[in-house]
Amino acid sequence: MVEEHYSFSDSTLYKESLGHLHHSSSITTPETKTLTTFLLSSFHHSRFLIISLLRFDQVALRVHLLFADFQVKECPQ
């Protein structure tokens, strides 16, 4: 599971973070802060999140499921 590999123990953290795009500092979970900050900054600057699938297919799928309102595109390798 993606949750186990990347410590996504609380998927609601990402759902709730949609309401805090300008307050990424409120995310305090150490193991998820880096990725969460990346996602928040990406959504802050663009509606589309472009993920380079360097063996991160499951991550892209998980992000797509968590952020169903956003379009997830795959970068050509």
Tens digits of residue pLDDT in 16-73: 555 544 444 444 455 555 666 666 666 555 544 454 444 455 565 666 566 654 444 5
In this prediction the pTM is 0.18
Q: Which domain holds residue 21?
A: 2-75
Would the CA dihedral through 52, 57, 58, 61 be positive or negative?
positive
Cβ atoms 2, 8 nearer than 8 A:
yes
Give the separation between CA 52 and CA 31, rounded to whole angstroms. 21
